[in-house]
Amino acid sequence: MPIVRRLTDVLKIRASRQPDQIAHDDTRRAISFAEWDREADEISGGLAAAGLRPGDRVFLPISNTHAVEHAVAAFAVLRAGGIVVPINTRFAAAEIRGYAELTRPRFAIYDSEAALAELTLDRAWHVASMPRDLAALPDQSKLDAEADAEILATSGTTGKIKGVVVSHPDLLGDATGLNMDRSRSTLHALPFTGSGGNLGVMILPVKGGATTYTQPKFDPAGFAALVAEKRPETVYLVPTMLRLILDLPDIANFDFSSMKWLMTGTAPLPHDSVMRAKALWPQARIRNSYGMSEGSFGLVTRSEKSVLKPGCVGPMNANVQVRDDQGGIAAIGQVGEVFGLQKHPRRYWGDDQASRDTFPGGWTKTGDLGFVDDDGDLILCGRSKELIIRGGYNITPMEIETVLHDHPAVKDAAVVGIDHEVLGEDVAAAVTFKAGMSASVAELTAYARQRLADNKVPRTIMVLKELPLNQTGKVLKRELKPLLQEEAARAKTDRGV
């Protein structure tokens, strides 16, 4: 048995045992395990020959148009002893500049020259001309197996982007190069620059021996066509993507018969999406997973009963706790903050105070609210910062969003708390409609009133064409609040109050 010290060692084993199997296919280029391994060695040597030293950061602003090259570049950097710093090419110039100032990369491999416009680097190579020098490949046995491996940009939903450090032991996990996943292929459209795409999908072939198919840029009809063409056994979609596919008028005409598993995560999964997917693809097992850049705790729904519960992310385990306001374990049914224990604790790059605040004692303070139900499942309710305190009563947005999503005309819904001079906060909602459908604010209010306690019914409802989303499909509620605050003020003026 070859010695496995780092994830790149597992790729070497895959290349020897499954040399001709396709590891990645981004619809433009397909690469086998043997090709991936060989190119990673060549480019690793090229980076070392160019002066890369262990611990140097390498910026990777690479879009999914070149997902294959991204996977090759990432493993090449790791084999050279460097730290991979992926960054989404769709980020604003100021975000990219700020992230570079935080992580201070020496080198970059890119497919978007615009992403490097304001950066100072020693060297940068386009993905089509990465440096190659097999003779300069570093001795892998001398590289630190405990070193930092990647710095992942958080989604930015709470403001300034931070960098989460993932170590080599964390990246390796339980992979040995011999385990075979139940699924032999996965289709997705997640960027390899975020935790879901990077840790969940990019390295999936190495850990599971399966093929990853990547749609370069998400397009609902194109994705459905790829399912029919590539016939993946697993389809991975964030909830927003799933809803867009389900809303295709001819979705029933696409062949999804190969799909055994429908995986989702990264954001709350609307209950109506589960019901529609279940009716459309009865052969598929639907699973909702829970994790984040700051930590992955291994929670996923394991039964149809669990996935049918709104907000459910599966049974609790020893690595997850729901804590009350005093830091104790919350009682069954009591809402508290979710904490997750990492086997290999993560930290924020260059921010010791934020690291101490978010990763106390090896636990990750997730900022998510949830409770454990009578079945032992974790039910997520929303973010702690999104908790609405109306007249002294705590209200979780997800409960209201679930009701609004169930309205037949509603495509998406997001609920936030807005300032109120008497109550402290009031409930406000933004909704979008499905194509060709609509409803009045009065109708939506009446619908909510039939299903929610009076204090939870949104006093302000605003109809938008689209909700503001970040790169991974999460709603940017900080952008919604001023819009809804203004709408509430306008409605108050119209009433002459």
Give CA–CA dist 267/238, Å, rounded: 7
- pLDDT at position 496 is 60
- pLDDT at position 88 is 87
In this structure, is residue 358 part of a structural domain?
yes
What is the domain range of residue 416? 387-494
> Which of 270, 207, 255, 179 is CA-nearest to residue 33?
207
User: Which of 308, 342, 372 corresponds to the end of one domain?
Assistant: 372
List, as one string, the DSSP characters of 272-324.
HHHHHHHHH-TTSEEEEEEEETTEEEEEE--SHHHHTSTTEEEE--TTEEEE-
- pLDDT at position 298 is 75
The overall longest dimension of the chain from CA atoms, in Å, is 79
Output the CA torsion 447→402→394→445 (10° steps): -20
In this structure, is residue 466 part of a structural domain?
yes
What's the one-letter identity of residue 353?
Answer: Q
User: Which of 319, 340, 372 corresponds to the end of one domain?
Assistant: 372
- Is residue 176 pLDDT above 70, yes or no? no
Q: Mean pLDDT across the stretch 77-87?
A: 97
pTM: predicted TM-score of the whole model, two decimal places:
0.84
Q: Are residues 367 and 426 in the same domain?
A: no
Q: Mean pLDDT across the stretch 367-379?
A: 93
Q: Are residues 166 and 301 in the same domain?
A: yes
Q: How many domains, the chain?
A: 2
The confidence band for 156, taking pLDDT boundaries of 50, 70 and 90, is: very low
pLDDT digits (tens, 9 = 90+) for 460-483: 999 999 999 876 677 888 899 999
The more confidently predicted of residues 492 and 80 is 80
> Percentage of the chain with pLDDT > 90?
66
Q: Are residues 334 and 410 in the same domain?
A: no
The confidence band for 294, taking pLDDT boundaries of 50, 70 and 90, is: confident
- pLDDT at position 159 is 54
We report the CATH number of the domain holding residue 472 as 3.30.300.30
- pLDDT at position 181 is 54
In this structure, is residue 378 part of a structural domain?
no
Give CA–CA dist 188/216, Å, rounded: 9
Q: Is the dihedral of CA 433, 436, 441, 442 positive or negative?
A: negative
- Is residue 77 pLDDT above 60, yes or no? yes
The confidence band for 100, taking pLDDT boundaries of 50, 70 and 90, is: very high
Q: Are residues 192 and 215 in the same domain?
A: yes
- Is residue 180 pLDDT above 80, yes or no? no
The residue ranges of DSSP E strands in 139-225, in sequence order, are 148-153, 163-167, 185-188, 211-214
- pLDDT at position 470 is 75
- Is residue 175 pLDDT above 70, yes or no? no
- pLDDT at position 391 is 77
- Taking a C-beta distance cutoff of 8 angstroms, is the pair 214, 27 a contact? yes
Q: Are residues 360 and 416 in the same domain?
A: no
- pLDDT at position 254 is 97
- Taking a C-beta distance cutoff of 8 angstroms, is the pair 290, 263 a contact? no
Give CA–CA dist 67/192, Å, rounded: 7
The confidence band for 131, taking pLDDT boundaries of 50, 70 and 90, is: very high
